[in-house]
Homo-oligomer: A and B are copies of this chain.
Amino acid sequence: MFPGEIRRRHLGTLLRHVHVDGSVSRTALGERMGLNRSTIMALTAELGAAGLVREETPAETGRAGRPSLVVRPEVTGAYVLAFDVAVDWLVAARVGLGGVVLDRRRADRPRAGADLDRVVEVLAGFGRELREAAPPDAVCVGIGASYCGMIRPGDGMVRFGPDMGWVDQAFGAELGRRLGFGLPVAVGNEAHLGAVAEQLRGAGVGFRNLIYLHGDVGVGGGIIVGGKLLDGDGGYGCELGHMVVNPYQGRPCGCGSRGCLEAEVGERALLDAAGWPTERYGRDALREVVADAAAGGPAAREALHRIGDWLGIGVANLINLFNPGIVLFGGMLRDVYPGAAEQVRARIVHHGLPVARERVRLRVSALGDDATLVGAAELGFAELLADPLGVLGS
The interface of chain A, by Cβ under 8 A from chain B, is 150, 159-160, 208-209, 221, 223, 225-226, 228, 230-240, 242-249, 255-257, 260, 313, 316-317, 320-325, 350-351, 353-356, 359-360
9 contacting pairs across A/B (C-beta < 8 A): A221-B321, A225-B226, A226-B230, A234-B359, A239-B323, A242-B317, A243-B320, A244-B245, A244-B316
3 smallest CB-CB distances across A and B, nearest first, come from: A232-B323, A237-B323, A239-B320
A382 to B351, CA, bound (A): 35
Report the minimal beta-carbon distance from A5 to chain B, rounded to whole angstroms. Answer: 13
Q: A247-B313, A257-B350 are in contact. Are A323 and B355 (CB under 8 A)?
A: no
Report the minimal beta-carbon distance from A356 to chain B, rounded to whole angstroms. Answer: 5
CB-nearest residue of chain B relative to A160? B355
A257 to B356, CA, bound (A): 14
Report the minimal beta-carbon distance from A126 to chain B, rounded to whole angstroms. Answer: 29
Report the minimal beta-carbon distance from A150 to chain B, rounded to whole angstroms. Answer: 5
Question: A-side binding surface: helix, strand, loop or mixed?
Answer: loop
Pairwise interchain contact A247-B245, C-beta atoms closer than 8 A: yes
Q: A244-B351, A247-B246, A351-B242 are in contact. Are A322 and B232 (CB under 8 A)?
A: yes
Pairwise interchain contact A238-B208, C-beta atoms closer than 8 A: no
CB-nearest residue of chain B relative to A316? B244
| Other-chain residue from B160, B246, B350, B355 in contact with A236 (beta carbon distance below 8 A) | B355
A323 to B225, CA, bound (A): 14
* Residues from chain B with Cβ under 8 Å of A234 in the complex: 323, 355-356, 359
A72 to B322, CA, bound (A): 38
* Residues from chain B with Cβ under 8 Å of A356 in the complex: 232, 234, 236-237, 239
Copies of this polypeptide in the complex = 2
Extra contacts besides A226-B230, A242-B320, A244-B316 (17): CB < 8 Å: A150-B353, A159-B355, A160-B353, A160-B355, A209-B233, A230-B321, A232-B323, A233-B323, A233-B324, A233-B360, A234-B323, A234-B355, A236-B323, A237-B321, A237-B323, A242-B353, A243-B243
Report the minimal beta-carbon distance from A107 to chain B, rounded to whole angstroms. Answer: 28
Report the minimal beta-carbon distance from A276 to chain B, rounded to whole angstroms. Answer: 25
Q: A226-B228, A248-B249 are in contact. Are A233 and B351 (CB under 8 A)?
A: no
Report the minimal beta-carbon distance from A327 to chain B, rounded to whole angstroms. Answer: 12
A322 to B322, CA, bound (A): 11
* Residues from chain B with Cβ under 8 Å of A248 in the complex: 246, 249
CB-nearest residue of chain B relative to A151? B355
CB-nearest residue of chain B relative to A310? B247
* Residues from chain B with Cβ under 8 Å of A249 in the complex: 248
Pairwise interchain contact B351-A257, C-beta atoms closer than 8 A: yes
Pairwise interchain contact A322-B237, C-beta atoms closer than 8 A: yes
| Other-chain residue from B233, B242, B321 in contact with A239 (beta carbon distance below 8 A) | B321
CB-nearest residue of chain B relative to A229? B226
* Residues from chain B with Cβ under 8 Å of A246 in the complex: 247-248
* Residues from chain B with Cβ under 8 Å of A317 in the complex: 242-244, 317
Q: A245-B245, A323-B231 are in contact. Are A236 and B353 (CB under 8 A)?
A: yes
* Residues from chain B with Cβ under 8 Å of A255 in the complex: 353
Report the minimal beta-carbon distance from A178 to chain B, rounded to whole angstroms. Answer: 25
* Residues from chain B with Cβ under 8 Å of A351 in the complex: 242, 244, 247, 257, 260
Report the minimal beta-carbon distance from A168 to chain B, rounded to whole angstroms. Answer: 10
A156 to B255, CA, bound (A): 43
| Other-chain residue from B208, B239, B313 in contact with A244 (beta carbon distance below 8 A) | B313
Report the minimal beta-carbon distance from A341 to chain B, rounded to whole angstroms. Answer: 19
| Other-chain residue from B321, B323, B353, B360 in contact with A321 (beta carbon distance below 8 A) | B321
* Residues from chain B with Cβ under 8 Å of A150 in the complex: 353, 355
CB-nearest residue of chain B relative to A241? B320
